[in-house]
Chain A
Amino acid sequence: MPADYLPILIMLVVAALFALVALIVPYYMGPRNPSTSKSDTYESGKLPFGTARRQVPIHYYMVAMLFMMFDIEVIFFYPWAVIFRQLKIFGLIEMGVFVAILLVGYVYIWKKGALEWD
């Protein structure tokens, strides 16, 4: 029923309003003393250097891809862990098969040297 989605619509409107208010109010009420270090690029507290348009080692791509794969594995673990006791031995075996298949991939990337930086 479309009426069931009304709370979500209200939530959306409230969120949009909140964001707008948070932007508009400081614009008129807050003091402004700009300085070089304040308007610098925010880099998690580190001093920024150079531009973002530079060559990046291709290894990052590999690391990111492997991270994705094993990250997804953990996501599968969570719901399984929640109902682990109810699934009994069947769930354990199923997860064993799942992990074994991933382990083959892990052994493969390890031996192929995908985990080495150089």
Chain B
Amino acid sequence: MTAIEIPALNFAALLPLFIVVGTGLLVVVLDLFIADKKSLGWLSLFGVILAAIVGNMQQGGAGFDPAFQNVSLLDGYANFFNIIFLSTAALSILVALGYLGRVGLHRGEYYALLLFATSGMMAMGMATDLMVVFIGLETMSIALYVMSALNRHSRPSGEAGIKYFLMGSFASAFLLYGMALTYGATGSTNFSDIGSVLTAGTVAPMAMLGLGLLLVGFAFKVAAVPFQWWTPDVYHGAPTAVTTFMSVGAKAAGFATLMRLLMVSFPAFAVDWQLAIAVLAVLTMTLGNVAALAQKDVKRMLAYSSIAHAGYILVGVAAATTEGIKSVLFYLLIYAFMNIGAFAVVGVLEQKEAIGTKLTEYAGLARKNPWLAMVMALFLFSLTGFPPLAGFWGKLYIFRAAVNADLTWLAVVAVINSGVAAFYYLSVIVQMYMKPAADDAPEILPSTPATRIALAVAGLAVVLIGILPASLVDMVAKGVFG
């Protein structure tokens, strides 16, 4: 009987994660006894903000130490992603507070699942070991599958849930197989150990195969072409408050892990994966934008637009430089604000039975509700990349990173794509400002204060980052891993 030595675990580094999980558990229990679901939303919001504050206070302190025997690390990179995830969660909660009540879906489970999904995302951002990546990914994904099917009585929502579940499980299987092969080739699941084995030795075909399967898995999760088929149906079918959350959070979490994995574990294969990612980026941008052009429904159009944005972000990943990482971090934070903002407006205009999301139903919005039309136009201009809004700087940094990494052709394709994208974003603005409303157009229900706060925060972020990008550039510089 030998005594078991308990290793130093460093619980403190995972404190923000514990706060989010703890709040989630509290919401599950309180949901059973409290009839007023709005208070659960505010409680969740409090937990999320507390986690963000604690995480930021830890920066530079002991939290930097690798935790749990080097499987996770709360470095500047993880902290930056935590800010993205927690902002996404906070804004989604604010959107949901208004939206869920209006469509008759106000259930405490939404907030609990949202918090659990957020904790999975945070685990992915902090992960430096394939095992933790998988646990984080599944925690996030399983919560999101259930959230997609939140509206049990709606067929599209049920379809979204089952489709996301089947496709997601399929992707997880690819990912696991890739992890298994990588482990088989290198003898480790630790990111940096894998990196040093692969850099030192000859190129192992098995590790290459593992990398390929990992890429397939992550491409599924971030909805990159040709693994994007589930995206439009899931984003369109799920309740808008859920789409708001997952279109940003799940994508950011996928990129968080993918980038760290590629840069730390697979620098030896950089030439190969750079090309693969570049090809994925071209396909993703082009298909996302071209398909979005044909959409008659704004929610579905934004789903395709989110595919296209995954493509732009992949351009930054393909650069495979520190500048590339910075540009992706920069873009993801901006994307979070502008995409959540756009989906929040869709949520405000949507009514029961999915009425109010069609493009023609946006006609005359500028006259009926000038403020709402204005913020929607703001988010759409930012998504297009008009200066001086935040989206412009996001695209600029990504394209510059690509050019500096000798991928000028890729940057050119991305610029052409941005031009194509302008057509469908502007068509919504044309409807809102230049077309008269139909006589039988549904009445716009007043938005709740919570939704207005979310729209104001997202709108201000898009404008302020647009005017003062330098402040964010400094923040991003701290978010690069060593």
Q: Which residues of B contact A87 (CB under 8 A)?
A: 4, 6
- From known contacts A107-B32, A108-B32, A112-B32, infer whether A90 and B6 are also in contact, taking CB-CB under 8 Å: yes
In Å, the complex CA distance between A87 and B6 comes to 8
Residue in A85, A90, A108 whose CB lies within 8 Å of B29: A108
Query: Does chain B have a CB within 8 A of A46?
Result: no
- From known contacts A101-B25, A104-B25, infer whether A86 and B1 are also in contact, taking CB-CB under 8 Å: yes
Q: Which residues of A contact B28 (CB under 8 A)?
A: 104-105, 108
What does the 1/0 interface line of A81-118 toward B look like (CB < 8 Å)? 00101111010000000000100110110011000000
Query: Does chain A have a CB within 8 A of B57?
Result: no
What does the 1/0 interface line of B23-65 toward A look like (CB < 8 Å)? 0010011011000000000000000000000000000000000
Q: Which residues of A contact B294 (CB under 8 A)?
A: none
Interface residues on chain A, number (Cβ under 8 Å): 13
What interface size band does chain B fall in?
Answer: 10 to 19
Residue in B1, B4, B6, B29 whose CB lies within 8 Å of A104: B29
Q: Which residues of A contact B2 (CB under 8 A)?
A: 86
Residue in B1, B4, B29 whose CB lies within 8 Å of A107: B29
Q: Which residues of A contact B6 (CB under 8 A)?
A: 87-88, 90
Q: Which residues of A contact B29 (CB under 8 A)?
A: 104, 107-108
Query: Does chain A have a CB within 8 A of B3?
Result: yes
In Å, the complex CA distance between A34 and B78 comes to 71
A96 vs chain B, min Cβ distance (A): 14
- From known contacts A107-B32, A108-B32, infer whether A86 and B25 are also in contact, taking CB-CB under 8 Å: no
Q: Which residues of A contact B3 (CB under 8 A)?
A: 86
Specify which of A90, A105, A108 lies most central, judged by the most chain B CB atoms within 10 Å of its CB.
A108
Are B4's CB and A86's CB within 8 A? yes
Q: Which residues of A contact B25 (CB under 8 A)?
A: 101, 104
Shortest Cβ distance from B3 into A: residue:
A86
In Å, the complex CA distance between A90 and B6 comes to 8
Q: Which residues of A contact B32 (CB under 8 A)?
A: 107-108, 111-112
B245 vs chain A, min Cβ distance (A): 21
Q: Which residues of B contact A111 (CB under 8 A)?
A: 32
In Å, the complex CA distance between A108 and B112 comes to 12
B28 vs chain A, min Cβ distance (A): 5
B213 vs chain A, min Cβ distance (A): 24
A53 vs chain B, min Cβ distance (A): 23
Q: Which residues of B contact A107 (CB under 8 A)?
A: 29, 32
Shortest Cβ distance from A89 into B: residue:
B6
In Å, the complex CA distance between A85 and B25 comes to 30
What does the 1/0 interface line of B1-27 toward A look like (CB < 8 Å)? 111101000000000000000000100
In Å, the complex CA distance between A87 and B4 comes to 6
What does the 1/0 interface line of A26-38 toward B look like (CB < 8 Å)? 0000000000000
B14 vs chain A, min Cβ distance (A): 13
Within 8 A of B (CB), among A30-82: none
Shortest Cβ distance from A101 into B: residue:
B25
B164 vs chain A, min Cβ distance (A): 19
Q: Which residues of B contact A108 (CB under 8 A)?
A: 28-29, 31-32
Shortest Cβ distance from B4 into A: residue:
A86
In Å, the complex CA distance between A105 and B2 comes to 36
Interface positions of B (Cβ within 8 A of A): 1-4, 6, 25, 28-29, 31-32
Given contacts A85-B1, A107-B29, A108-B28, 15 further A-B contacts (CB under 8 A): A83-B4, A86-B2, A86-B3, A86-B4, A87-B4, A87-B6, A90-B6, A104-B28, A104-B29, A105-B28, A107-B32, A108-B31, A108-B32, A111-B32, A112-B32
Interface positions of A (Cβ within 8 A of B): 83, 85-88, 90, 101, 104-105, 107-108, 111-112
Closest 8 CB pairs of A and B: A111-B32, A86-B4, A104-B25, A90-B6, A108-B28, A104-B28, A104-B29, A86-B3
